[in-house]
Structure 1
Amino acid sequence: MGTAETLTAGAQRRRAVIASTVGTTIEWYDFFLYNTAASLIFPALFFPKQAAFTGILLSFGTQFVGFAARPVGAAIFGHYGDRIGRKATLIATLLLMGIATALIGVLPTYGSIGYAAPILLTLLRVAQGIGVGGEWGGSVLLSMEWGSVRRRGFWASWPQLGVPLGLILSTGVFRLLTDWTGASFDHWGWRIPFLLSAVLVGVGLYVRLRVLESPEFAAVAEAGTVVRRPLVDVIRTEWQKIIGSAFVRLSEQAPFYLFTSFVLTYGTKQLGLGRDGILDDILIAATAGLICVPVFGHLSDLFGRRRVYGAGIVLVAVFAFPYFGLLNSKESGLILLAIVISLIFHGIQYGPQAALIAEGFGTNLRYSGAGLGYQLASVIAGGPAPLIATKILQKTGSSTGISWYIVGCCVLAFAALILMPRTVHEPMKAATVAGSAPPATG
């Protein structure tokens, strides 16, 4: 009987990890798809009356509103995730993101409906931001709370694979369709990747509906310790951890969107490189991230979250100037090297990051606290980064200021890492066997 129970728990753990990873992959596919389009397509389609740099800035501005909406999503879905559970909330975030992305695929451009086009685009981007803002906390917790305490770094890192997987999917589809549709890509071909989101959401829903609630939350519900106002309580009692979580991500968030989104603008507009070559390099680099994220999540279980994460911060800072030096060489091999190394150094931080942030909060406040801290970084780091880099490039015509910007983010993140509390909450013990649902009542 013990063996059957163990197998049941193991099967549920695997199912939870798969559901979390598949769901985050779909969410990030949608989110990154917009980032790529904002760099290469949307300036001409939705802001055609603007000068070149102004159109790019406006396009990145619509990209930024998605980042600004992410804390809103974290607050809304974090509240319900701590009130009614991880599973139901994750189904809602997946539907919201999928519908918004598919609607972008049928959105008329400026040439058809004028200024209404960028306004509608911005509203759909806000919906994307709210969806992905609520997604991260739930997916990470569903995976982490099914795993063992000693391997939290490893189990929590699997949903983080949604970032490189989503990047590979979105960049790969974009790349394939530019070849397939040719000159028609800028007219109608760009819509297909957005419409494919509807198919992916169907797959994600099938997987997620088969998962049981996390045993840690089930134990909280059974014990009657669910908090009535988790968002209010976590802001009131754990605000230092929330702010610390946001700032510790500066060295990961801001550089990542420079390495994967702004690099498309920098490479094509500043260096005159081909779009397809840079997309191919990002695909290769994202594939390397598939290995780095779980590996460094595992290493954080062995050597500690702070040591591994701190090493990633230092390496990103050290690489800030060599990165642009390699790009500026315009040599294809060196450009590939720059992009691959940048995403490997990102993976050193992203692997242990989920557990580093989430395990600082108790189970009954974890979705709200971890999600809000994580997503606030999108406002101070991820969203502004391409805008700031574009403005620096416009003013100076040089990458030097952008490198210093990366270094500054790393300095602030390292300080936040040092100041983060070292609290690690143990899970509540469920009265039922892990892997089975709470007993029915009535």
Structure 2
Amino acid sequence: VGAAGAAALTGCATAEKTSSAASLLGLGIVLTLIATVIAGPLLVRPVIRILGGVFPAVFGSVGRMSQRNALRNPRRTGATAAALMVGLALVGGLSVASASMTKSFDRQIDRTLGADFVVQNSNFMPFSPEITGKVEETEGAGLVVRQRFTPIELALPDGRSVESTAAGYDPRLDDVAKVTYAQGGSRDALAAGRIGMDVDFAKKHKVRVGDSLPATFPGGRETKLTVGALTDQDSPEGFGVEGGLFLGFGTVEKYVPGGQDSALYVNAAPGTDADTLRERLDRTLDPYPQVQVRDQADYKELIRQQIAVMLYLVYALLGLAIVIAVLGVVNTLALSVVERTREIGLLRAIGLGRRQLRRMIRLESVVIAVFGALLGLALGMVWGVAVQQVLALQGMKELAFPWTTIVAVVIGSVVVGLAAALLPALRASRMNVLAAIAHE
């Protein structure tokens, strides 16, 4: 089962289509999870021998007994750790995926955004031309490049007709954005009657630079647009919509007059520093609270906040998994204490103190919890790498590991082990020694 799961995840990492990669990812996650649960008892002895290897040196005979007690019933130990393992595998996988997404978005923002500031509606909806005029009149505002979106339908050489959204820009786009071109440049794409698109989209539909494509704008306005440039933005959707279509602002105004701007890219004028310009823009836009001024750092923080919303759901699931795991460890330790009643009585009779007994049970609980946590994190990190490979097909090619989260989870598993051992350890330490020895 594990081999089949590993093969599915390997296929996911090497797939070239998102749909097939996602299918293999789901299959690989299910199979590797089942395999790890099945193999859990077989992993107990080698892993816990390593994890508990320092116990004898630090805690003496008590540490040695706690390690060996955890090894007594590998099947029970593996089943107990499985509850924590599943929850932490999910957390580990999504943490790696979210860290990779954050790093990829940060890199994309650094690579593409060249303006000092972007003026945009908080909900990304278009805004009134009045706001554009106010921004252009702001003292210290130098270059202002408008962005305006319009629906468009293109008839392509392969016989298909694609309905998408095109972005219109002012001519000096290169001064506020870092666009990578496979062919041509901004001057070619933004000229009157021209259009630019993503190179992969062009290859898919057999479009070449110089082709004349019939285009239909809202209201049934028809024209022919000449392909002036092909971009390579390291993303299958170019500027964020299908085809990565973009054209000159004049072309948009000609066929879709009276529209509203979606964003303004603003550079400070010579002699004006960015902080001063931001203060002035904030004052200018004070009567329009829905419109915000953002720089690169603001965009990165916005992405992190959106990803954090997803992680909050994961952490809620983690909380539920921890509760289940604690109950499982408590149950296992309680059964173990009952089964070892006579043994505990004999140990107490030959000099094992109450505090030493409680420590022995706590260490046993901790090593079980850490075993489950490490197994879950290892599995989750493999899943996270596989998820990142799927995201890479959508342009998110950066892989990152959230080491702070991983270390925090391991420390948290120690706390979980200590918490789960409280009641069983207390019950064991309160046993009547003679009654425990006489127990059958």
TM bucket, shorter chain: under 0.3
Normalising to structure 2: TM-score of the pair? 0.27
Bigger share in helix: 1
Bigger share in strand: 2
Normalising to structure 1: TM-score of the pair? 0.27
